Amino acid sequence: MKITVIGAGNVGATTAQRLVDKQLANEVVLVDVLEGIPQGKALDMFEASPVEKVDVRVVGSNTYDATAKSDIVVITAGIARKPGMSRDDLMNTNCAIVRNCASSAVAVSPDAIFIVVSNPLDVMAYVAMKAAKLPRERVIGMAGVLDAARFRSFIALELNVSVEDVNAFVLGGHGDSMVPLPRYSTVAGIPITELLDQQAVDRLVKRTRDGGIEIVNFLKTGSAYYAPSAATVAMVESIVRNKKRILPCSVYLQGEYGLQNTFAGVPVKLGRNGMEQIIQIKLNPDEQAALAKSAADVTASIGKLQM
């Protein structure tokens, strides 16, 4: 198994480190346009391998030759969001970056599954799919796992319970119109709507929607990378080990949930072939309307792309 991570910034480097620690590949390749950065970080990671007792080769490169025949390609490249910057502000700058990354990577790894992490996430997944000219099963956006993890964390804090017992679903686009689903979010199988009053649920939903910018506002000059990298690796692990986990991921919808030709987060079965099934859960009218609005926001952004 060979995995390439494009972008050696905080998200990319932390993702590569987690991949190595979990021994999810025989070789991890870190690619970046900045000379010396991927090489230095890759060497540093590899030098930790005797201590951690992991036999994974880590390679850094400024070109795509080293990534040839990768099984999975993770795209994290792009500029980070700054305070006061919306996800849409990032769009056209990151569009050019992601388009180049996807087309360059697929040229030497035509059978790879692509996981897109760059923001604005759903739009960048669309850009990658079109640039790489791949079927929708092999281009998946990382969003819902991260958003659900944030929701789960906040629920655990609110109820003072273990995060292990908390499950949550967040659908829709990765942005202000994401759709956390309290009815499908549980603690030891008990819906949080039975454990918290509506005011508390609404507060947690809002904090989940604002989860990314909350961290940006603290950091001032950067954005989240520990949780995004963990969420990405959870998706990679399900694919590599053919675990067939049901995870909320951004995928290209063609009629599912009544949505057409757009990317949005929905429950997905992830296995060796990438996106193996879209799970269609029953939504009430309010949830369906919120999901449709979120998807419409993504579609509108796609329409503004300078492709």
- Tens-place pLDDT, residues 173-227: 998 889 999 999 999 999 999 999 999 999 999 999 999 999 989 998 888 999 9
DSSP state of 175: S
Q: How confident is the model at residue 79 (pLDDT cuts 50, 70, 90)?
A: confident
CA 199 to CA 149: how far, in whole Å? 21
Reading phi first (left if > 0) and then psi (alpha if -120 to 50, else beta), residue 281 is in beta
CA 91 to CA 292: how far, in whole Å? 21
Domains annotated for the chain, with CATH where assigned, are 2-141 (3.40.50.720), 144-303 (3.90.110.10)
CA 88 to CA 106: how far, in whole Å? 26
DSSP state of 172: B
State the pTM of this model: 0.95
Averaged pLDDT, 92-106: 95
Whose structure tokens read 């956390």? 180
Longest pairwise C-alpha distance within the chain? 55
- Percent of the chain exceeding pLDDT 90 equals 90
Mean pLDDT lowest among 25-29, 98-102, 213-217, 239-243: 213-217
Using alpha carbons, list the distances in angstroms from residue 159 to 6, 198, 203, 208, 283.
Answer: 38, 14, 13, 16, 26
- Percent of the chain exceeding pLDDT 70 equals 97
CA 95 to CA 66: how far, in whole Å? 24
Which amino acid, one-letter code, is at 110? P
Residue 87 pLDDT more than 80? no
In sequence order, what are the beta bridge partners of 180?
170
Active site residues: 174
Angle at 174 between CA 271 and CA 178, to 5 degrees: 110
Residue 134 pLDDT more than 90? yes
Which amino acid, one-letter code, is at 191? P
Element (H, E) at 101: helix 91-108
- Exposed e or buried b per residue across 97-118, where buried means at least 16 C-beta atoms within 10 angstroms of its C-beta: bbbebbebbbebbeebbbbbbb
CA 113 to CA 2: how far, in whole Å? 11
pLDDT at 84: 73
pLDDT at 82: 66
Which amino acid, one-letter code, is at 132? A
CA 180 to CA 171: how far, in whole Å? 6
Cα within 13 Å of Cα(144), Cβ side: 27
Report DSSP letters for 136-170, one per residue. GGGEEE--HHHHHHHHHHHHHHHHT--GGGEE--E
Whether 33 and 8 have beta carbons less than 8 Å apart is answered as no
Mean pLDDT of the chain: 95
Segment 236-271, tens digit of pLDDT? 999 999 999 999 999 999 999 999 999 999 999 999
CA of residue 43 relative to chain centroid, distance: 26
Whether 263 and 251 have beta carbons less than 8 Å apart is answered as yes
Averaged pLDDT, 269-281: 97
Q: How confident is the model at residue 304 (pLDDT cuts 50, 70, 90)?
A: confident
Mean pLDDT lowest among 28-32, 91-95, 147-151, 278-282: 91-95
Whether 306 and 95 have beta carbons less than 8 Å apart is answered as yes
pLDDT at 307: 66
Using alpha carbons, select from 145, 147, 149, 76 the residue that is nearest to residue 114.
76
pLDDT at 93: 87
